[in-house]
Amino acid sequence: MTSANINNAMLSYIQDSPTPFHAVKGLQDKLHAKGFERLCEGATWNLQANGRYYVTRNDSAIIAFKVGNQNSLKNGVAIAGAHTDSPCLKVKPNPEIIEKNYLQLAVEVYGGALLSPWFDRDLSLAGRVDYRTNHGELSSALINFEKPIAFIPSLAIHLDRTANEGRKINPQTEMAPIVLQLIDGEKRTLDDLIHHQLIAQKHLDVQKVLSHELLFYDVQPPNVIGFDQQFIAGARLDNLISCYVICEALCNSKDGETSLIVCNDHEEVGSASIVGAQGPFLRSVLERLTGSSPPEEFSRFMHKSLMLSVDNAHGVHPNFVNKHDKNHGPILNKGPVVKLNANQRYATSGFSHAVFSSLCERVGVPYQSFVMRSDMGCGSTIGPITSAEVGVKTVDVGVATFGMHSVRELAGSSDIHLMAKVITEFFSSREWL
Ligand code: CO
């Protein structure tokens, strides 16, 4: 795939993935088209050499893998991991607020969101709804209102003259999006809107909505921008870029060795959940992949394995160059960034760093490195958690971006293709053995 092709395909994936549920659905569709067979965690697995499989959990996390040839398990597994969730505004269970006849929906802040970019955007709502059918059964559906149905207006500067002087934002009192203006005496609830949308999406058997997990998102599509088209602007680049790229690389890699991708949910809120990296999802799949082998064999398998934890990195922002260490300021469009931290907020070791550098050189891809300034705290990824949970050597890497956790982030348009190239090579080779 050319750089432009992969960028366009990725942008439409991101546009169709306003929530982790949709992000997983998009990967599933892609894997299915590439001949991957769906597994169910509750059924017996009968994995075949050279088979291709995927399995989801809670519709918000997914693992896909290619089983290698007969003897490939002795070469371990090449794993690439990313996360499906992004910081956002999540609708509360009983969200209706009516003030001056405006119907607003109360929200919780999910993850470490930058709040100010959420104001003055055309917002829509998407997620998963669980309902009872007309036949009394439980059912669930993904919904996406798609149209801009909500807005969080800023307060006019005339009503707050200090607005440009570092004003604090209170998410409880200042951020409930306005959804509609009620006519006097009119009563409408979120359930009415959900019901309406389910019908519009041809779910005609809804008797009662029982629960919802709905996230607001900005409807502006992601785009290739800049005078010379050198940048990608969009929501959820952290970390749907990585979800897309590792899936693409898995599909395009050579067969023969065993390769796996894992896209966890709940990274932005600490990973401790049934679908998070600190949960048992990956270990459970790895154990089933190695079959009924003794623990001794599983340990040998993990010893031979390596993981790329793929999550965006902080590019050095031209207006804030002092926020980066002088020698470790990743530049957009200059290739994948290897992330290191002495205190193990990233899982990269000297060995895994060397393996990744060597892979990049083998395929002619430039690479960079990032460490946080020594006087600033460091973020983290699923890398250290996964590495500690299943005992896999890991390297943390990512595409450089600006504005991480904003409602719209910026990346380099050449970096997607470069990252895909290295990861495809990673799956095809056994550089570290
Ligand atoms: Co991330």
pLDDT digits (tens, 9 = 90+) for 351-372: 999 999 999 999 999 999 999 9
pLDDT digits (tens, 9 = 90+) for 370-408: 999 999 999 999 999 999 999 999 999 999 999 999 999
CA 27 vs. chain centroid, Å, equals: 11
Distance of CA 306 from the midpoint of ligand 1 (Å): 20
Distance of CA 185 from the midpoint of ligand 1 (Å): 45
Distance of CA 240 from the midpoint of ligand 1 (Å): 9
Q: Is 405 helix (H, G, I), strand (E, B) or coil?
A: coil
Q: What integer pLDDT is reported at residue 431 of this predicted model?
A: 87
Q: What integer pLDDT is reported at residue 71 of this predicted model?
A: 85
Distance of CA 45 from the midpoint of ligand 1 (Å): 32
pLDDT digits (tens, 9 = 90+) for 404-420: 999 999 999 999 999 99
Distance of CA 128 from the midpoint of ligand 1 (Å): 22
Distance of CA 312 from the midpoint of ligand 1 (Å): 6
Distance of CA 79 from the midpoint of ligand 1 (Å): 17
Query: Which stretch of 4-18, 152-166, 282-296, 387-401 has the lowest confidence by average pLDDT?
Result: 282-296
Domains, the chain: 3-86+235-428 (3.40.630.10), 88-218 (2.30.250.10)
- pLDDT higher than 90, residue 1: no
pLDDT band with cut points at 50, 70 and 90 for residue 167: confident
Distance of CA 394 from the midpoint of ligand 1 (Å): 16
Distance of CA 289 from the midpoint of ligand 1 (Å): 27
pTM: 0.97
Distance of CA 199 from the midpoint of ligand 1 (Å): 34
Strand-pairing partners, residue 234, are 409
pLDDT band with cut points at 50, 70 and 90 for residue 293: low
d(CA 174, CA 170): 6
- Per-residue three-class SS string for 104-153: EEEEEEECCCCCHHHCCCCEEEEEEEEEEECCCCEEEEEEECCCCCEECC
Q: What integer pLDDT is reported at residue 292 of this predicted model?
A: 66
